[in-house]
Amino acid sequence: MKLYSYFRSSAAYRVRIALNLKELEHDIVPVNLLKSEQQGDDYLQKNVQGLLPALETEEGVLGQSLAILEWLDETTDHAPLISGNAWQKAQIRNLAYAIAVDIHPLNNLRVLKYLTNELQVTEEQKTTWYQDWITTGFDKVEKMLGDGPFCFGDTPTLADVCLIPQVYNALRFKTPMENYPKIMAIYTHCNTLKAFSDAAPEQQIDAQ
């Protein structure tokens, strides 16, 4: 498999974690978002959406991180990301979607570029926008968490795979995190695992 990735892409970060957890062999193919390489003809032939990540498999190419993560879970037995009874699976998805659907899209690079280039907001205003949507989301996520080492139970799930990249970016944008002790405890614990630490942006071959 080939994962088309950018080191700071939160969505690609999720897939890197999952591939590592499942111990699946794969190659990383860097695509530079800052240089708009995702809009190049070669990449668009693989992923018509022109977004990252994309996972190239023997069956074809998938280009949405949540679809990739669920496909990986359905096609492999090792390190399941969504497990338990129907209610428990729904709870895992509920938290994962609260992050990947409600928080992340408002703060991805396309939105930040639009704020800067089209609306001509200042760097300070852009940071305020970013931090506001993070805290709005994390205020709710913190209340959804228990006291375990992971979001649910004693093993990483889809929720952890989505949470850790979002926390990484929150810290990158200097979002105050003192109100989120459960989130930070999970973030710290997950990063003691090699699957998470190896997927971190600074460990990638295209890290700048």
CATH code reported for the domain at 86-195: 1.20.1050.10
Out of 3.40.220.10, 3.40.50.300, 3.40.30.10, 3.90.1150.10, select the CATH number for domain 2-79: 3.40.30.10
pLDDT at residue 148, rounded to an integer:
87
pLDDT at residue 109, rounded to an integer:
85
Residue 174: closest CA among 139, 127, 110, 125: 127
Which residues does 148 contact at the CB level (< 8 Å), separation at least 6? 154
pLDDT (tens digit, 0 to 9) for every residue of the chain, 208 residues total?
Answer: 999 999 999 999 999 999 999 999 999 999 999 999 999 999 999 999 999 999 999 999 999 999 999 999 999 999 999 999 999 999 999 999 999 999 998 988 889 989 999 999 999 999 999 999 999 999 999 999 999 899 999 999 999 999 999 999 999 999 999 999 999 999 999 999 999 999 999 999 999 8
pLDDT at residue 110, rounded to an integer:
87
Do residues 195 and 155 lie in contact, with contact meaning Cβ atoms separated by under 8 Å?
no
Residue extents of the structural domains in the chain? 2-79, 86-195
Read off the amino acid at residue 196.
F
Residue 23: closest CA among 88, 77, 99, 98: 77
Q: Would strands 27-30 and 2-5 be described as parallel, antiparallel, or unpaired? A: parallel
Torsion over CA: 141, 143, 147, 153 (sign): negative
